Amino acid sequence: MTEDQTDTAFEFDGRWQDYAPIAFTNLLLTIVTLGLYRFWGKARSRRYLWSRTRFIDDRLEWAGTGLELFKGAVMALLLIVLPLVLLNMLTQSLVLQGQTLLGGLVGTVQLVLVLLLIGVALFRSLRYRLSRTYWRGIRGGSDDPGLGYGWSYLWKNAVGYLALGLLLPWAMVSLWNERWSAMSFGQHRFSANGTVDGLIRRYLLCYLAPLIGLAAGFVLIGLALAWGRSAGGGLAGAGISFALVVLGALCFYLLFGLVVMAFYAKFFRQMVDGMALDRLTFRFDATTRDWLVLLLGDFALVVVTLGIGVIFLDYRHWKFLIDHLEAFGEIDMAALNQSTTATPRQGEGLLDAFDMGAL
């Protein structure tokens, strides 16, 4: 069996009307169980989303369970969150006792530990998701437990920030490549060779935006004051100046958000474009405009529904991902064999603990 004959390799054919009963019952059960059901709810929601996602000629299958997500969360709570809380209490009590130096030291150790664990969490959640994702009866995964990635996450981000933030794009690209290169599907390793080329211009825009914005803000305030004076001062003049300042601040935040989005859109495209699995290559084609429409849609949905719309965000994000994802090349089905990677026993509790489960 070879390449697909239809025009797109990835297709999402879910309907929000079919997803709504799942989302609403998940919400109800999550409320009445004081949040406990959300692990099972997440598994239900993913089973639906995966099963409505076609790749070439078969649908994805989510094989993860609520119980393993729950176990992961409990483990993360006991092994990670509790020690960190105790460490935090130790820092506070040391500072209160006047042991500022020792308190600062413990605080630094704590920060290093948190960064390291966030890295491990990001790695392990990807590994978990791949290990529970089946396609034609074959799953993905990784044999790497992710501790090495945790250290990389720590030092590459540290270098990125220490170089006045100028090396952050390099850190992001290199971490993406490192993470995906450790993953596999079936017997094949992913290769990830995303490059920094072409990202720097958009990153510099983000980098300089606050400075440009600040300068523009001063000019605007100056103009506002001048206007206020020429309008004869008084209440009306002050009102106009105030309105101009508020307008300026609003414009600044919107523009800053936009340049960050422009960077991220290109980053994501470039990373996916750099990925391959055996003879398959991938492409992601969402433009800055697509991301903007997605996020404005999210925002409108949540506001219009007074917050209830939050339960549809996973659906929207998954649909967005699949709609813009494309694959080329061919797969020899008979030669694609089952993954021999270890299957983690619990879910993404660590990532959950740091509240970073989003797309």
Q: Is the dihedral of CA 133, 131, 24, 310 positive or negative?
A: negative
Q: What is the DSSP letter of 80?
A: I
Could you say which residues in the range 239-298 bind other proteins, by CB under 8 A?
A: none
Q: Is the dihedral of CA 268, 301, 311, 51 positive or negative?
A: negative
Is the CB of residue 69 less than 8 Å from the CB of residue 42?
yes
Return the CA Rg of the chain.
24
Q: At 8, phi and psi to the nearest 5?
A: -135, 140
Q: At 139, phi and psi to the nearest 5?
A: -120, 175
Interaction of residue 46 with other proteins, rule CB under 8 A: no
Q: At 328, phi and psi to the nearest 5?
A: -130, 155
3-class state of residue 165 by DSSP: coil
Q: Which stretch binds other proteins (CB under 8 A): 40-48, 120-128, 170-178, 192-200?
A: 40-48
Interaction of residue 305 with other proteins, rule CB under 8 A: no
Interaction of residue 44 with other proteins, rule CB under 8 A: yes
Q: Which stretch binds other proteins (CB under 8 A): 94-102, 219-227, 232-240, 319-327?
A: 94-102
Which positions from 201 to 240 touch other proteins by CB under 8 A, shown as an x/- string? Answer: ----------------------------------------
63 versus 84: smaller Cβ distance to other proteins: 63
Interaction of residue 308 with other proteins, rule CB under 8 A: no
Could you say which residues in the range 116-135 bind other proteins, by CB under 8 A?
A: 134-135
Token pair recorded at residue 279: 């003879």
Interaction of residue 47 with other proteins, rule CB under 8 A: yes
Q: Which residues are at the interface with other proteins (CB under 8 A)? A: 1, 13, 25, 28-29, 32-38, 40, 44, 47, 51-52, 58-59, 61, 63, 66, 77, 89, 93-98, 100, 134-139, 186, 331, 333-338, 343, 355
